[in-house]
Amino acid sequence: MAVIGQNISQAKRVLDAGELVAIPTETVYGLAGNALNPVAVASIFETKNRPSFDPLIVHIPSLDVAENYVIDIPDPLRKLAEQFWPGPLTLLLSRKNTIPDIVTSGLERVAIRVPDHSLTLELLSQLDFPLAAPSANPFGYISPTSPQHVDAQLGERISYILDGGKCRVGLESTIVGMEENEIVVYRLGGLEISEIERIVGEVTVKSHSSSNPQSPGLLESHYAPTKPFILGNLEELIAERKRQGIDFAVLSLAQSFPAIPTGNQIALSTKGDLKEAATNLFAAMRTLDASNASVILAELMPEEGLGKAINDRLKRAATKG
């Protein structure tokens, strides 16, 4: 398995050698490699078994550094960066040719952000290159929010995991760009739409794509456990599985079910706090996926604040058909 530690110098040595390191961010753990080295980037796709048409996010230490890799930053997007970087915001910007095609899957825009984690910011400040870093998990599976999650899934394929503890936000970044003069949200995430609209006014939210996405994290099926994951009214879903005699686990916002074993149910926030629910989402999905249940039953969150981003992840994790 991988070495887990907080040695930034060791992480830098691995990255300088063109190899991969798992890094902590406020959102989820990323599988990072030199974004300017096509061979290192290819290793990211290979290690995750990620399709090459799904572009990656580039991580940088500060807004000033973005000028090295993008042609320009439109004023509305610059205002967002000034307000929310470091933070769970990714901007989709026209790239310079310093960014290899493999990072953007040949697209003319690159997804770029400044992560809000002290260890990773220190690491980025010591590197001569930005880091391409999708979530550090096998493609399509639940995103990792702790170093142990990374080690369980990819520990045999990478040498070092930079241990930044549990991720504070727990949902991937919100991806924002512009089309014509319109602000477009391409992926719901850890930065609420209301916060974005407070700075730049009304935005358009685009739904996910089944193939050839315009930005990272837009594939229709994603974030999925290995067990069937069923969304709906929990009371009805539970009653149906009991009639069928099927072992099940339950994921809810705040409910508790006395007749269900405690190991087979998780409430994301007993207070109904959507920020707390977002922080706990992926870890809870992993725990229930490892339970003795044969199916996971879940409910949608209130469609407000971070509930919208949580519901996006739940719908894409859900069993189709």
Does residue 71 form part of some domain? yes
Distance of CA 18 to the CA centre of its chain: 23
Tell me what pLDDT residue 219 has: 58
Would you say 280 and 241 are in contact if contact means Cβ atoms under 8 Å apart? no
Do both 128 and 273 map to the same domain? no
Q: 3: which strand partners? A: 160
Q: Are residues 63 and 175 in the same domain?
A: yes
The CA distances from residue 141 to 157, 184, 189, 192, 313, in Å, are 16, 26, 17, 24, 11
Number of domains observed in the structure of the chain: 2
Mind listing the pLDDT tens digit for each residue in 57-95?
999 999 999 999 999 999 999 999 999 999 999 999 999
Asked if 35 and 103 sit in the same domain, the reply is yes
3-state secondary structure the chain: CCEEECCHHHHHHHHHCCCCEEECCCCCCEEEEECCCHHHHHHHHHHHCCCCCCCCEEECCCHHHHCCCECCCCHHHHHHHHHHCCCCEEEEEEECCCCCHHHHCCCCEEEEECCCCHHHHHHHHHCCCCEECCECCCCCECCCCCHHHHHHHHCCCCCEEECCCCCCCCCCCEEEEEECCEEEEEECCCCCHHHHHHHHCCCEECCCECCCCCCCCCECCCCECCCCEEECCHHHHHHHHHHHCCCEEEEECCCCCCCCCHHHEEECCCCCCHHHHHHHHHHHHHHHHCCCCCEEEECCCCCCCCHHHHHHHHHHHCCCC
267 in the same domain as 171: no
Q: Based on the fold, state whether residues 19 and 153 are members of the same structural domain.
A: yes
Q: Given the structure tokens 């319109």, which residue do they identify?
A: 182
Residues 175 and 312 in one domain: no
Taking the CB of residue 294, how many other CB atoms lie within 10 A of it?
Answer: 12
CA dist list (Å): 12 to 79, 128, 135, 171: 31, 10, 19, 26
Residue 319 predicted with pLDDT over 80: no
Q: Domain range for residue 199? A: 3-205
Please check the confidence at residue 220 and state whether its pLDDT lies above 70. no
The C-alpha R_g of the chain, in whole angstroms, comes to: 19
pLDDT of residue 84: 98
Count of C-beta atoms within a 10 Å radius of residue 87? 22
Amino acid 54: pLDDT: 84
Q: Are residues 157 and 91 in the same domain?
A: yes
Instruction: Provide CB contacts within 8 A for 159, sequence distance 6+.
Output: 2, 3, 14, 19, 21
CATH of the domain at 30: 3.90.870.10
Do residues 222 and 134 touch, judged by C-beta distance below 8 A?
A: no
Q: Could you tell me if residue 288 is inside a domain?
A: yes
**Same domain? 166 vs 242:** no
Q: Are residues 152 and 27 in the same domain?
A: yes
Tell me, yes or no, whether 27 and 172 share the same domain.
Answer: yes
C-alpha distances out from residue 9 to 77, 119, 180, 224, Å: 33, 11, 43, 34
Q: Is residue 219 part of a domain?
A: no
Q: Is the dihedral of CA 131, 134, 135, 138 positive or negative?
A: negative
Q: In the structure, what pLDDT confidence band is assigned to residue 151 with cuts at 50, 70 and 90?
A: very high
93-137 confidence digits (pLDDT tens) = 999 999 999 999 999 999 999 999 999 999 999 999 999 999 999
**CATH number of domain containing 278:** 3.40.50.11030
Residue 217 pLDDT grade (very low, low, confident, very high; cuts 50, 70, 90): low
Whole-angstrom distance, CA of residue 23 vs CA of residue 110: 20
Flag whether 221 is in a domain. Answer: no
Non-local (6+) Cβ contacts of 138 within 8 A are 48, 49, 153, 154
pLDDT at 53 over 80: no
For residues 165 and 149, give the distance between their C-alpha atoms in angstroms, rounded to a whole number: 11
Judge whether 238 lies within some domain. yes
pLDDT for res 210: 44
Same domain, 49 and 177: yes
The predicted model scores a pTM of: 0.91
- Do 105 and 254 lie in one domain? The reply is no
pLDDT tens string 181-213: 999 999 999 999 999 999 999 999 986 544 445
